Structure 1
Amino acid sequence: MTFYPLSLTARLATLFSLLVAGLLLLLGLWLEHLIRGHFDEIDHMELTAKLNMIENLLDRVDSPAALNTLSRYLDELLTSHATLSVSIRDEEQRILYAYQPEFLEPVKNGDVASPSTRWSVAGYEFIGHEVHKRLPLPQSIPVHVLLGLDITHHAHFLEDTRRYLWTGIAIAALLTALLGWLVARQGLAPLKRITAAARRLSAERLGERLDLQATPPEMVELANAFNGMLNRLEADFQRLSEFSADIAHELRTPVSNLLTETQVALSRPRSTEEYQDALHSNLEELERLARMIADMLFLAKTDHGLLPNPAEPVHLEEEVTALLEFYDALAEEKQVRMQLSGTATVTGDHLMLRRAIANLVSNAVRHTPPDGRIAITITHDQDMAKLCVSNPGETIPADQLPKLFDRFHRADSIRNHHGEGAGLGLPITRSIVKAHGGDVAVRSQNGITTFCLTLPLSGTQRT
């Protein structure tokens, strides 16, 4: 058997109706207790009053003549009280007086010890009490007075009240459930708007947003989260679309070169040297493709948090020194001088950090004009180390600076002069620095461009 979960509206309506029904039930029980207590008090007062009247008459029986007239006085007293039953017996259980004694048959002398004693006869309910008296005759006679009071009308009233009360509670619970369902349905209308907005989402319709003005205060946070999710989706989809277009653009050039070189090589018979030249040219394009694919895979790992997270001390000045030795030949060829100053130790993966710094140094060497000087400075302040790479060259427009760390982005002027880059170096640098808990920034003014990395210092160097 399959059980389907109740909807949120049905759950709220059910809980609301159960709560109201429970409260009404408690109220009904309390009212019934009060009514029953009130009737019991009235019945006991009436029973006590009648018993006192009978006792007063018995106290006046002080002669045989008074004993003979006792029955008449009692008849006069009880004639107008059809709800009473009286039995007076002597010590030998002989009846001295009886009024409607058939209603006293279920009980015997000595069985009715208090007014709370109850019994039923022929569909009638009674309460009664018994007292022991001595008639003040010359020769005192002990008597047993048993008095019963018919409380059937009160019992019927309580039964009718109970029946009407439970019927009213049941009807109120049903009405409450219906009302709760309507209220919950209306109150959850914003969720339906969210659902409708989610259904309308598509690649072409990512601009849907919820109206916060029409959202209840309790759901503003949810609506904000939903709108924030849509903002992120729209931004990520736009970035993905641009990324896909950039990949197609960047891959098209080397693939086109490979096709062209191969078609030319196969267009007519050639010598071994010519085929070797064509293969070398294709090898360069394939190496470019391999680097681009490796960089794209590296960025994909950073997006999914799959980079290694070692915690080894990394001396930045040693890493920079090794890189300067590597780029020394290229710098000499371009007549560019490189200078390092400062020291700092951070915690992380030295290979990834070296790659991040290498991207900055490589860019600086490529974009620095002859006789220029590249300044690499390392400083630290409290818990952060800063590594800055400054080089002279063309000033990057201010509107291009935020885009330098986007994948496959290259400023137009730089692209025209240095087309060999794929535009993935700076995004990789930012990903590595972010993975190490740092950040990267750039500024370009008056022909000087400076990239700065900030990284947390290692625990041994923090001040």
Structure 2
Amino acid sequence: MIRIRSLTARLASLFAALTASLLVLAAVLFGRMLEAHFQELDLHELNGKLALIRNALQDESGDSALAERIQVLERAFVGHESVGVLLRAIDGRVVHVIHPEHFTLAQRAGTPLAATMGDGAGDWSVEGRPHRGVEARVALPGAGAGDAAVEVLVALDLSHHAHFLASVRSATWGGVAVAALVAALFGWLAAHRGLAPLRRVTETARRLSARQLGERLAAGDAPLEVRDHVEAFNGMLARLEAAFQRLADYSADIAHELRTPVSNLMTQTQVALSRPRTAEEYQDILASNLEEYERIARMVSDMLFLAKADGNTLARGGESIDLAREADALIDFYEALADERRVRIVRTGGATVRGDRAMLRRALSNLISNALRHTPAGGEITIAIESDDARIRLVVSNVGDPIPADQLERIFDRFHRGNAQRESHGEGAGLGLAITRSIVRAHGGEISARSSEGITRFAIAIPRHTSTSAT
């Protein structure tokens, strides 16, 4: 079985097959109707001839004998070469034949007609020529001849009908073939034109590269059937472009963040090797290098954590966690740093969630640490825990430098620190909020930020179906 792989060829073949099927069906119906019409005309003509013969044989205007009446029939059928008449006595003896070439040898020998069409009508063939005829008994008038009768068989040569039907069939099948080819051609053209947007998709895909993702397909001239595909393809290109841009930015940020500690390590090592030093000086240099190594280790650990979050491989536990207790523990942990900066941390409300204790504590710790870096002396940090029928909310608020509106959508991006004024408050790598968002999303929640009137709020919302509330 030949399998057509081209969609255009398949559609063209389908057009051709459908057109040919419809035309064949129409041709068959037309042929049968034409044959039925010809049969009706033939029977009408045969019955007319039979009526003519009956009138001639039953003519009572004179005392002519049967032989004379037959001579009248002979004259009546002069010029009617396609019609034959056979007269047969009651005992089967053939009395007379007009145009005997229209009858079979058996019929001329006295065999009656085998009626196959009802009403004494039937078909037969003589030397390959089709015939149709009717047979009837005709009573002969005359004194003492009340029971005298003859069997009359009238035959009609159908060769002209057969030739006409054959020519019609030939023309019909030729027309079907031509129509199928034309339908296939138009189907191919329609499919080829209709699939043009898909070919443009292919051409665009071939031109794509990491440096050339800005191309888009025009959806306006695409058919409705492929417009959704074009729009989906454009959306995929937009997502790829954004992903590649984020990857490029991410790579550049990683290089930038790693460059500083590596440069510090190289500088300190070069200075240490520039001249002999005492053991205490080497210890100081090694201690300084250790801080840089720890900074690099934290950065690598954070990036590995975010890579797991991107791959959806963070393992979220199912233990019950008292958010108020965790918040209080973190407040105690940051108490010394808060006192040093003269910042007050207050917690209100409480709720219980199910999840991973270490991950949620890390998320809350990141928010508190971030708030401490940006809260001025004498300020206050508030941790508010609320719950309702739909979700549990944890909001960390602090006073301090506001976050510009155009930065609020980007503060959860990796290595993003906001404006220079906020960046000056710390030396973080800009991964804390990105990690916090990944942890919250791993627990089925979302995190948002608002900054107005000197107050910045980070709100975590976790759906209630993954949590249980507590007073």
TM-score by length of 2: 0.90
Query: Equivalents in 2 of 1:63, 1:88: separation in Å?
Result: 21
Does the alignment pair 1:379 with 2:386? yes
SS of residue paired to 2:216: coil
Q: Which residue of 2 aligns with 1:241?
A: 248
Amino acid aligned to 1:120: S
User: 112, 115, 138: which is aligned to 2:114?
Assistant: 112
1:145 CA displacement = 2.0
1:260 CA displacement = 2.4
Query: Equivalents in 2 of 1:114, 1:401: separation in Å?
Result: 96
1:309 CA displacement = 4.2
1:346 CA displacement = 3.1
Aligned residues of 1:118 and 1:125 also touching (Cα < 8 A): yes
Aligned residues of 2:412 and 2:433 also touching (Cα < 8 A): yes
Aligned residues of 1:336 and 1:370 also touching (Cα < 8 A): yes
Q: Which residue of 2 aligns with 1:22?
A: 21
SS of residue paired to 2:376: coil
CA deviation profile, 1:180-230 (whole Å, cap 9, x unmatched): 212222222222233333233333332212223333344332222222222
Identity of aligned residues (%): 50
Q: Which residue of 2 aligns with 1:86?
A: 85
Moved more, 272-281 or 225-234: 272-281
**For residues 68 and 403 of structure 1, do their structure 2 counterparts lie closer, same or farther at Cα, with a shift above 3 Å needed?**
closer
Aligned residues of 2:391 and 2:463 also touching (Cα < 8 A): yes
SS of residue paired to 2:417: coil
Query: Equivalents in 2 of 1:276, 1:326: separation in Å?
Result: 30
Counting only pairs closer than 5 Å after superposition, residues 338-377 of structure 1 correspond to structure 2 as 338-377=345-384
* Unaligned ranges ≥5, structure 1: none
Q: Which residue of 2 aligns with 1:74?
A: 73
Q: Which residue of 2 aligns with 1:129?
A: 134
1:22 CA displacement = 1.4
CA deviation profile, 1:5-52 (whole Å, cap 9, x unmatched): 532222221111211111111111121122111111101111111122
Query: Equivalents in 2 of 1:301, 1:443: separation in Å?
Result: 28
Amino acid aligned to 1:333: E
Amino acid aligned to 2:127: A
Aligned residues of 2:137 and 2:152 also touching (Cα < 8 A): yes
**For residues 62 and 446 of structure 1, do their structure 2 counterparts lie closer, same or farther at Cα, with a shift above 3 Å needed?**
closer
Q: Which residue of 2 aligns with 1:161?
A: 168
1:234 CA displacement = 1.8
1:250 CA displacement = 0.4
Counting only pairs closer than 5 Å after superposition, residues 282-431 of structure 1 correspond to structure 2 as 282-411=289-418, 412-419=420-427, 421-431=428-438
Amino acid aligned to 2:154: L
Query: Equivalents in 2 of 1:323, 1:235: separation in Å?
Result: 37
Query: Equivalents in 1 of 2:295, 2:88: separation in Å?
Result: 126
Moved more, 143-152 or 421-430: 143-152
Q: Which residue of 1 aligns with 2:35?
A: 36
CA deviation profile, 1:388-430 (whole Å, cap 9, x unmatched): 11122223333332221111011312322312x1100001111
Q: Which residue of 2 aligns with 1:440?
A: 447
SS of residue paired to 2:87: strand
Aligned residues of 1:347 and 1:457 also touching (Cα < 8 A): no
SS of residue paired to 1:244: helix
1:142 CA displacement = 4.3
Does the alignment pair 1:213 with 2:227? no
* Unaligned ranges ≥5, structure 2: none
Q: Which residue of 2 aligns with 1:51?
A: 50
Q: Which residue of 2 aligns with 1:102?
A: 101
Counting only pairs closer than 5 Å after superposition, residues 122-201 of structure 1 correspond to structure 2 as 122-137=127-142, 138-139=144-145, 140-201=147-208
1:85 CA displacement = 1.5
SS of residue paired to 1:403: coil
Q: Which residue of 1 aligns with 2:8?
A: 9
**For residues 223 and 84 of structure 1, do their structure 2 counterparts lie closer, same or farther at Cα, with a shift above 3 Å needed?**
same
Amino acid aligned to 1:127: R
SS of residue paired to 1:402: coil
**For residues 95 and 350 of structure 1, do their structure 2 counterparts lie closer, same or farther at Cα, with a shift above 3 Å needed?**
same
Aligned residues of 1:437 and 1:456 also touching (Cα < 8 A): yes
SS of residue paired to 2:91: coil
Aligned residues of 2:351 and 2:468 also touching (Cα < 8 A): no
Query: Equivalents in 2 of 1:169, 1:201: separation in Å?
Result: 47
Amino acid aligned to 1:414: R
SS of residue paired to 2:406: coil
1:355 CA displacement = 1.5
1:161 CA displacement = 0.2
Query: Equivalents in 2 of 1:5, 1:427: separation in Å?
Result: 52
Question: What RMSD in Å do the two structures reach over aligned CA positions?
Answer: 2.5
Amino acid aligned to 2:135: E
User: 260, 283, 287: which is aligned to 2:267?
Assistant: 260
1:269 CA displacement = 4.2
Query: Equivalents in 1 of 2:441, 2:289: separation in Å?
Result: 36
Moved more, 286-295 or 52-61: 52-61
Amino acid aligned to 2:198: L
Aligned residues of 1:84 and 1:149 also touching (Cα < 8 A): yes
Aligned residues of 2:4 and 2:10 also touching (Cα < 8 A): no
Moved more, 88-97 or 40-49: 88-97
**For residues 78 and 237 of structure 1, do their structure 2 counterparts lie closer, same or farther at Cα, with a shift above 3 Å needed?**
same
